[in-house]
Amino acid sequence: MGGEAVIIGNPNSGRAGSKGYLERCATVLRSGGLAVEVVNTERPDHATELASLAGDSLVVVAGGDGTINEVINGLHREATLGILPLGTANVLARELGLPLDPEGACERILRGERMRMDLGVATDGEGVERRFACMAGMGFDAKVVSAVTPRLKDRLKGLAFPLIAFKVLLQEKFPPVRVSGGGANHVVPFAIVANAHRYGGDYRVSGPGLLTSGELEVICIRRVSLLLRPDIFASIMARRPLDRSMDSFCAREVRAESPDAEVPVQLDGEVWGSLPMSFRVEPDALEVIR
C-alpha cells in the first residue's frame, strides 16, 4: 500500500496523549509503504481544519467518535478515512468491525477494504449544518453527554455514561419532542436519529445495515423512566441489545421540535445546539477503511 496519509490525533483521547504513541503507530503504517505525517489537535474543531487541508489523502483519526465527527466535517469527498479507535465508546469503529487494539487497527488500515458509507446531516434553526457518522440524540442523552466530563471519562471509562445516565434520569425532566418524517409523527420525551446500528458503544438500538441504507432510523422512547427498570438497566450496564419493541421509523429526512422548551441535541457524543433541528441522510458521502 502506497500513498500519503496524515494521522490527526486528539491528545485528550486516552492513549493518544501517551508520549510517542502516535509516532509508533505512524512507524507501523510507514512500514506498510505509507508516507505519514502526524498532527495533534490543539483546540475544539481544530481537527476539522486539519482534515480540510488534507485534500484527497488518507486521513487517519486517532481518537474517539467526537474527533471523528470533527474530521468528517472537514474531509474532502475524495479523501479516505482510517480509524485508530482511542475513545471511550468507539461507536463507528465497532460498527465497522474494526480491531480496538492499535496493532490490529494499523494492520486494518494497511490491508482493509474500502467502502462508501452514508452520513447524517443536522441543520439547526439558523441553517447551520453539521455532519454526523452514527447518531443524533435529543433530550435525555444530550443531557447525559453534557454531564460527562473528560475527567469522569478518564476515571470511569465505559461506565461513565451509564452511571451519569442513571443520575440524569433521577434528577432531570424531559419535555416532549415532536419528531416527524416519512409520513410518521411521534411526540416523545427522548428520540434518537440513527445512521448506525450501534449506539453509545456496543448497545444496539436500530436495525443493521444503516450505514449504507440511504435512510436514517428514528427510535422513539416514550417513557424515559423505563430505562430505570432493573432488567433494562442491567442490559445497559452489560452492553446487551436494548428492547427493539420501541417505536421506530425510517426516513431520508426528519424534523424535530419542542416549541415550549429548550431541548439539547448531541451528535456522535458531543452536544451541538438545541431544537428545532432537521436531519437528512447524505448517501455514499464518505469512503472509509473497514
Q: For the segment 115-130, what is each residue's pLDDT rounded down to a tens digit?
A: 999 999 999 999 999 9
Which residues make beta-bridge pairs with 255?
180, 278
**21 within 8 A of 38, measured Cβ to Cβ:** no
Q: How high is the pLDDT of residue 158?
A: 66
Q: Which amino acid is at 148?
A: V
Res. 1 pLDDT band, cuts 50 70 90: low
Q: Helices 230-237 and 160-171: crossing angle, nearest 10°? A: 150
Does 170 have pLDDT greater than 90?
no
Distance CA 85, CA 82 (A): 10
Does 191 have pLDDT greater than 80?
yes
4-112 CATH, one of 3.40.50.1460, 3.40.50.10330, 3.30.70.20, 3.30.2400.10: 3.40.50.10330
CATH 2.60.200.40 intervals, the chain: 119-284
Report whether CATH 2.60.200.40 matches the domain 119-284: yes
CATH 3.40.50.10330 intervals, the chain: 4-112
**282 within 8 A of 160, measured Cβ to Cβ:** no
Residues found in the chain: 290
Distance CA 36, CA 191 (A): 41
Q: How high is the pLDDT of residue 74?
A: 98
What stretches of 112-252 show up as alpha helix (H) in DSSP?
140-147, 150-156, 160-171, 230-237
Q: Considering only 113-127, 132-146, 166-180, which range has the smallest mean pLDDT?
A: 166-180
3-state SS class at 211: helix
Q: How high is the pLDDT of residue 232?
A: 57
Read off the pLDDT of each residue in 142-163 and give the average, rounded to a whole number.
78
Does 131 have pLDDT greater than 60?
yes
